[in-house]
Amino acid sequence: MDKPRVFVTRKVDEAAIALLETVADVEVWPDYKAPSKGALLSNTKDVDGILANTEDRIDEDVLAVSNGRLKVVANMAVGFDNLDVNTATGLGIAMSNTPGVLTKTTAELGFALMMAVSRKIVAGDRDVRDGKWQNWHPSAYLGVDLAGSTLSVIGMGKIGFEFAKRAKAFEMRVLYHNRSPRKDIGEGFEYCGKLETALEQADFLCITTPLTKETHHFIGKAQLSLMKPASILINIARGAVVDNIALFEALKEGRIAGAGLDVTEPEPIPADHPLLTLANVVITPHIGSASQRTRRDMAVLAAQNIKARLSGEPMPSCVNPEAMTRKTQREKEEEYALEVLREEEDEEEV
Ligand code: DGY
């Protein structure tokens, strides 16, 4: 049998590549930019594994191009809205994400955004650089204190909880909205079964819910209209969880006071997008998990998932374990070939 082959869609930490090389021949896409759909298809037609990124759309076409050889797709991200998990499961292709390793890093970036918007850090820096800082004035650049303010976290998963803990340390009151209350997070975090309550009470709203069919544009015009005029929205989940046009209108009309976005729809956000005309918005280029240690850990975890699958061992963070109960087309063909061989041998013996 051929040595397994793995395609890595972007240059990642050497430790991850070295791990993959213990079980497979590895090819790494050399460009900074993601491979186009055509390049993704031509580079994955004879691979057993793909190490992908959030920008790579792993759809039916990519899943089918190897004619049943592909066994595993490891996403180097905790979110996996770029993967067609249903189709993969049907084809016996395991998929994985990278939970845990990026939780604190992403919460920290969210917090940095919250502080940047609430204290006008980016707008102030721009003025200083542009020579527009005239003098100290009692009413210049006035922001909002975190201490004593109310934070509502939408989606109290791992990242939401890390964000909430930091907010507690900053003496904020913390509410959260989830499908159900979390019993494992201790005291001091108030559950709002109704999204509306979390929106109405928030001075700061932090969105950390994954993007699914149900959460697409979860925060739109109606939801924004419930927020306080002085409130600030932070999105560190996925751009499409918020309707960005509704957000632009709410900000422009002063129905909310500011926004800090690490994610947008689309990404990259076009330079002429209306949100970029607003001074009360800070946008970072999807860098929630972008610390050196975390990006290495994410790459290594993705590689561990691929290695495990190719070695027939349990994967550390598989998102569709049902896939393991199905055989890939290639496995079925190999089994069939083996069966035919056995029958032929049996016949010869007779
Ligand atoms: C994730 O892990 O989902 C991040 O958004 C990628 O940095």
Q: What is the DSSP string of 273-336?
A: -GGGG-TTEEE--S-TT-SHHHHHHHHHHHHHHHHHHHTT---TTBS-GGGGGS--HHHHHHHH
Q: What is the CATH number assigned to the segment(s) 5-100+292-349?
A: 3.40.50.720
Angle at 130 between CA 124 and CA 133, to 5 degrees: 50
Give residue 60's pLDDT: 98
Sheet containing 72-75: give its strands across.
25-28, 5-8, 49-52, 72-75, 94-96
Query: Residues of 99-124 as b/e, b for ≥16 C-beta within 10 angstroms?
Result: bebbbbbbbbbbbbbbebbbbbbbbb
Give residue 350's pLDDT: 63
What is the pTM (predicted TM-score) of this model? 0.93
DSSP type of residue 219? B
Give residue 330's pLDDT: 80
Give residue 348's pLDDT: 76
Give residue 211's pLDDT: 97
Burial class (CB in 10 A: 0-12, 13-18, 19+), 127: middle
- For atom 2 of ligand 1, which residue has the closest CA? 77
Give residue 107's pLDDT: 98
Catalytic residue among 267, 313, 322, 339: 267
User: What fold is seen in the domain 103-283?
Assistant: Rossmann fold (3.40.50)
Instruction: Encode pLDDT of 256-290 as tens digits.
Output: 999 999 999 999 999 999 999 999 999 999 999 99
Give residue 1's pLDDT: 65
Give residue 346's pLDDT: 81
Residue 238 catalytic?
Answer: yes
Q: How far lies 240's CA from each of 97, 219, 303, 348, in Å?
A: 19, 9, 28, 63
Positions of the chain with pLDDT lower than 70, given as ranges: 1, 350
DSSP type of residue 232? E
- For atom 6 of ligand 1, which residue has the closest CA? 77
Residue 263 CA to ligand 1 centre (angstroms): 10
Q: Which residues line ligand 1 (CB under 6 A)?
A: 54, 77-79, 102, 288-289
Residue 91 CA to ligand 1 centre (angstroms): 25
Angle at 22 between CA 20 and CA 25, to 5 degrees: 65
Element (H, E) at 94: strand 94-96
Domain residue extents for the chain: 5-100+292-349, 103-283
Q: Comparing C-alpha atoms, which of 208, 101, 215 is closest to residue 160?
A: 208
- Decide whether 5-100+292-349 matches 103-283 in CATH topology: yes
